[in-house]
Structure formats: C-alpha cells, structure tokens
Structure 1
Amino acid sequence: MTPPVFSHGSLRLYLLSLLQDAPKHGYELIQALEQRFGGTYSPSAGTIYPRLSKLEEEGLVTKTTQGRKTVYEITDAGRLELDRREAELRDIEAEVTDSVRRLADEVRHGVNQALKSLRADLASAARESAQHAKPGGAGTSAGPDADARARSRFALRDAELALSDFRQRLRNELRAAAARDELTDAAVERLRMELVRVGNELAEVIHR
C-alpha cells in the first residue's frame, strides 16, 4: 500500500503555511501543492476544503466571497500558530521532500513498466513478421502489415495516455468547481454537448 503523502494533521498546517504570503482560494491552494510536488501529487477538492473549514473553525483563517470564489486568508492567530509550530513545519517540509522523491520513483517505475510493455509488443510484432516471412507462411507481404500493427499499438498507447491525462485534469477542475458550489446543471450540459461534439470530430480524424 502506498503511504499517505501527508501524515495526520500535517496537511492542515501546510495549507496554513501556504496562506502566509497572500490570500488564496481553494483551487489556488491545490495548484500550489501540485507545483510543490512537481505534478506528481494533486489533492482533490474533497481533501482540501474540509481542512480549510477546520482551520476556519479554529479561527486560524477567515473566508470571504469574491464573485463566485471563496478566498481564504490567514488570521493573526494563524500566524501565531505557525510561529509556535515552526519546528513541526520544518519536519513537514522534510516529509514533503521525501514524498516528492517517492512519488517520482513511482512515476519512473510506471514509465519503466510501460516501456517493458512496449518492448514486449514490439517483440511480438517482430515474431509475427518473422513467421509470415518463413517459407510456407503467409508470405513476405505480411512484413509491412506487422510493422503497421506495431505502429498502431504505439499510437494506441500514446492516445490512451493522453486521454487519461485529460480525464484527470478535467476531473480535478470539476471537483474544485463543485467544492466551490460553482458547478451548475447548465455547465454540465454544456460539457456533455462539447464532449459529444469533440468525440464526433475525433472519430472522423481517426477513421480518415
């Protein structure tokens, strides 16, 4: 099991530290964390907002509404809390550094596994090509077909990775909007229509 990025209670204190320089709304805090982790960790809105609410209950932050955004600002009590727990915050920074290294290792492992899978696909395609090229096989004309299959497998894997990345980014946007009470039925319907339109256009591109 993958250990948690933050130990119990650490994320709340870390969020408080991110508010030291300037007020931020929830999505800006999510982005700040994502940047701090080099893109290897992106907390969900369901992770961030309950902790911000707890900080507000403790009087360590206040929130104001600016248009459709809820902005959080550290209070004097929050700054005193950071001063009081300065040593603990340094330990959290060390934990974050370790977590970044661990998550980067996991990403590298995933990439290595993907490369192994690609090499296996290429080896399989090469075997198919060699079998077709043997006397009594399907004939040498099958060689280009095998190459085409290999290229198609590469393209499929790249496309699946791109779709997975798009899905994750869009999910984060939707969750953040929902947590800010900004996700409306009209927006969801527009999203559905746009996905259908883009899906149809991409289907035409794929089948050209």
Structure 2
Amino acid sequence: MSPAVFSHGDLRLYLLALLAESPQHGYGVIQALTDRTGGTYTPSAGTIYPRLAKLEEEGLVTKTADGRTTIYAITDAGRAELASREGDLQGIEAGLSDSVRLIANEVRQSVQEAMKSLRADLAAAAHEERTGSASSYREASARADDRIAGREELRRADASINAFRAQVRADLRTHVARGGALPAKVVSELDAALDNAAHAVTAALAALRP
C-alpha cells in the first residue's frame, strides 16, 4: 500500500507551500514531493492535477502556458492563505518528517531482515543438497520458500501498521496544531481499539499453530 504521508486536506496546503517557493509545472510538483519525502511518496498525476485545478478555481493558483508546458504559480490570495495557516503548515512539515523517517527506517530494516533470512535459507538448502537426498532438498527448498513468503507478508504487515500509525499521528498533530481539543476519551477509545486489534491478531495466529 502507499504510505500515508499526508492526512486529508494537508496535501492542498503543502502544494501551496511548494508553489510559494517557485512556479512549477505539474511534473515538477510531483518530483518535488518525491524529493521532499526521500522517495517514499510519489503521487500520481491523477492526484496532483485535480488539486492544482481546484486551487486555480479558488483563485489561489494561476496557470500559464510555456510552449507545451503548463506552469503553475501561487497568487497573492494563495500567499495570504498560506500565511494565515502557518501553524498548520508547521504541523504538516513536522508530521511529514516523522512519517518519512519512520517509513525509511522500516523499509531499511525490512530489507536487511529479508536479505539475512534469504542467505540463511539458501545456506540451509545448499547444505541439504550436499548431505541429503533429492527429496530432502526439495523439502528444504519448500520450507525456504515458505519462510521467504512469510517474511514478505511480515513486511506487508509492517508497512500497513506503519502507514496507519503515520496517518493517525499526522491527523492528531494537525488537529492540535489547528487549536483543536483532544479529549482523554478519544485517546482512551484509541487505546481500546488498538488493544482489541492486537487480541484479534494474537487469536488468529494461535489458531494457525499446529
């Protein structure tokens, strides 16, 4: 799944911030977002262009033709909105840094674990081939395949958990940065929901054990 780097509405404000730095064509905006997130988030044209068009409708952005390229630039109204939401932007940038760092660390760790596991599986298969029968080798290879598949599913689970964490954290930080209240009841409900999810996963894994 794609990493949840921006919570709802934050990408719109961040696009204004990028255009406030310099006018950009659509691909330049996409590339800037990729660069700012260390390659962990590359939005599609179908994500960016409709948002740029909406900003233009609101009078926050203008577009001009430069040959066959369309250049987008922020307007005075866009700069005014950006200035009025400086606190929100700071919250977005802080959440973005946290999300990117988390995703990068998890990807690096997953790759390292996958490579370590693969080397161990290949070594075990090679040993079986040297010392055992052809059937033993096939069984070892099958076990290695199962372990590799398990590691891949674990990586997917890690990515899902981290994307959820980044999304919720960004939403909470943005809400508080905008001056919103965060009642203890909401946090308690979050704790309860996470606890229930953890118990459900534990029960499902227990049911799979021989």
Distance 1:110 1:67, change over 3 A: farther
> Would you tell me which structure has more helix in proportion to its own residues?
2
Partner of 1:13: 13
User: Which blocks of at least 5 consecutive residues in structure 1 are unaligned?
Assistant: 138-208
Q: d(CA) in 2 for partners of 1:31 and 1:2?
A: 16
Give the length in aligned residue pairs: 133
- Measured after TM superposition, the shift of residue 65 of structure 1 is 1.5
**1:42-81 equivalent positions in 2, closer than 5 A:** 42-81=42-81
Q: When the two structures are superposed, what TM-score results if normalisation uses the length of structure 2?
A: 0.58
**1:159-178 equivalent positions in 2, closer than 5 A:** none
Partner of 2:127: 126
Partner of 2:200: none
**1:1-208 equivalent positions in 2, closer than 5 A:** 4-115=4-115, 116-131=117-132
Which amino acid in structure 1 is aligned with residue 101 of structure 2?
Answer: R
Q: When the two structures are superposed, what TM-score results if normalisation uses the length of structure 1?
A: 0.59
**Alignment identity in percent?**
60
Q: d(CA) in 1 for partners of 2:67 and 2:124?
A: 57
Find runs of 4+ consecutive structure 1 residues off by over 3 angstroms: none
- Measured after TM superposition, the shift of residue 129 of structure 1 is 2.4
Which amino acid in structure 1 is aligned with residue 112 of structure 2?
Answer: N
Kindly indicate whether structure 1 or structure 2 has the higher relative contact order, using CA contacts under 8 Å at least 6 residues apart. 2
SS in 2 for 1:15: helix
Which amino acid in structure 1 is aligned with residue 7 of structure 2?
Answer: S
Q: d(CA) in 2 for partners of 1:65 and 1:130?
A: 70
- Measured after TM superposition, the shift of residue 7 of structure 1 is 0.6
Larger gyration radius, structure 1 or structure 2:
1
SS in 1 for 2:38: coil
Kept in 1: contact 2:62–2:72 (CA 8 A) = yes
Q: d(CA) in 1 for partners of 2:53 and 2:2?
A: 27
Q: d(CA) in 1 for partners of 2:39 and 2:3?
A: 18
Kept in 1: contact 2:14–2:89 (CA 8 A) = yes
- Measured after TM superposition, the shift of residue 45 of structure 1 is 1.1
- Measured after TM superposition, the shift of residue 113 of structure 1 is 4.3
Q: d(CA) in 1 for partners of 2:70 and 2:56?
A: 12
Kept in 1: contact 2:61–2:75 (CA 8 A) = yes
Distance 1:35 1:76, change over 3 A: same
SS in 1 for 2:132: helix
- Measured after TM superposition, the shift of residue 121 of structure 1 is 2.6
Which amino acid in structure 1 is aligned with residue 88 of structure 2?
Answer: E
Kept in 1: contact 2:3–2:40 (CA 8 A) = no
Partner of 2:163: none
Q: d(CA) in 2 for partners of 1:48 and 1:119?
A: 43
Q: d(CA) in 1 for partners of 2:124 and 2:38?
A: 34
Q: d(CA) in 2 for partners of 1:130 and 1:36?
A: 52
Q: d(CA) in 2 for partners of 1:2 and 1:69?
A: 28
